[in-house]
Amino acid sequence: MRSIEIDNLSFEPFIEYEQIQKRIRLIGIDINVKFENKHPVFVGILNGCFMFMADLMKCIHIPCEMTFVKLASYAGTEQGNVQQLLGVGMDLKGRDVIIVEDVVDSGTSLKHTMEALAALEVASITVCTLLLKPESLQHSFDNIMYVGFEIDKEFVVGYGLDYNGQCRNLPDIYKEVSSPHTL
């Protein structure tokens, strides 16, 4: 891994693909055990979750279903109001739902998603996120059960995470060098 530059921002290697895959396998094993007889629905939050969810689902060996929602809560690097752009598209009443997120930082979009799912009368909501920024949380959650990596307030790209639509395709995660952002 080597450093990269995007729009005059420098990023250095942070979490390698192999580390990500090891963590995903462990999360998958735990989900397979805990949800063995529950037939959960995985709800991926687009666009950022696509790589994480694809790799996670390869480790899930229990009967399950999946769907996606698309939210928008960023304008450049600033967090804004959450907008739902694409809905679930299936009946979730009485179902065990596992929300799959790329990163939980402020928690605003996660809170929005959980409230929307609760209104659909789901049986349970469990959160599975690749990255968690505990210092950035503005809401408290008791159902974030699966966390790939806890990180500081770094601005990160790669493995589904983007900066202005760029770098989602990178297999590794990079963090901005001397980040002025507090995401």
Known catalytic membership, residue 105: yes
Q: CATH assignment of 17-32+41-71+86-152, given 3.40.50.300, 1.25.40.10, 3.40.50.2020, 3.40.50.10470? A: 3.40.50.2020
Mean pLDDT (whole number) for 175-182 = 69
DSSP 50-119: HHHHHHHHTT--SS-EEEEEEEEEEETTEEEEEEEEE---S--TT-EEEEEEEEESS-HHHHHHHHHHHH
Q: One of 105, 142, 162, 172 is an active-site residue; which one?
A: 105
Spans of all domains in the chain: 17-32+41-71+86-152
pLDDT category, 3, cuts 50, 70, 90? confident
pLDDT category, 81, cuts 50, 70, 90? low
CA distances from 87 to 43, 67, 99, 120, 148 (A): 10, 9, 13, 12, 26
Answer whether residue 1 shows pLDDT above 80. no
pLDDT category, 78, cuts 50, 70, 90? very low
pLDDT of residue 77: 43
pLDDT category, 166, cuts 50, 70, 90? very high
pLDDT of residue 183: 42
pLDDT of residue 59: 98
